[in-house]
């Protein structure tokens, strides 16, 4: 299966608040970043942390965020390793916002 995102792709993290463990930090939810590179496929921690054996294996990406995007200030970048299901293309998010969706 080919990677969904390539280096340089502009992405936005999903904005969700699950009732269970997630490796998507709250401060990074709904934020824009740029994919640096794929980092291999790993079991989705959100599922495996529940002791389940059916965790899907997904590509994990190194994604760079501007500190200003995450916290409203700062001139440096922050890199997070994020599972593919946490990401959507930035253009999709813009389309949803323009159409009045959430």
- pLDDT tens, residue by residue, 64-92: 999 999 999 999 999 999 999 999 999 75
The sign one gets for the Cα dihedral 68, 29, 95, 3 is positive
User: Between these two residues, 58 and 93, which has the higher pLDDT value?
Assistant: 58
How far from 99 is each of 15, 37, 43, 49, 88, CA to CA, in Å?
Answer: 17, 31, 34, 36, 17
Please, where are the H alpha helices in the chain? 45-48, 67-71, 90-98
The sign one gets for the Cα dihedral 67, 78, 58, 56 is negative
Is the pLDDT at 30 greater than 70, yes or no?
yes
Q: What is the pLDDT of residue 94?
A: 45
The answer to whether residues 42 and 55 touch, using CB atoms and an 8 Å cutoff, is no
């Amino acid at each position: 299966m080919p990677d969904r995102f390539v280096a340089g792709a502009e992405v936005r993290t999903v904005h969700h608040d699950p009732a269970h463990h997630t490796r998507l930090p709250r401060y990074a939810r709904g934020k824009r970043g740029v994919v640096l590179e794929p980092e291999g496929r790993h079991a989705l921690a959100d599922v495996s942390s529940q002791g389940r054996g059916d965790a899907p294996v997904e590509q994990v990406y190194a994604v760079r965020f501007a500190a200003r995007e995450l916290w409203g200030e700062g001139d440096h970048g922050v890199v997070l390793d994020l599972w593919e299901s946490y990401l959507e293309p930035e253009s999709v998010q813009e389309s949803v916002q323009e159409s009045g969706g959430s």
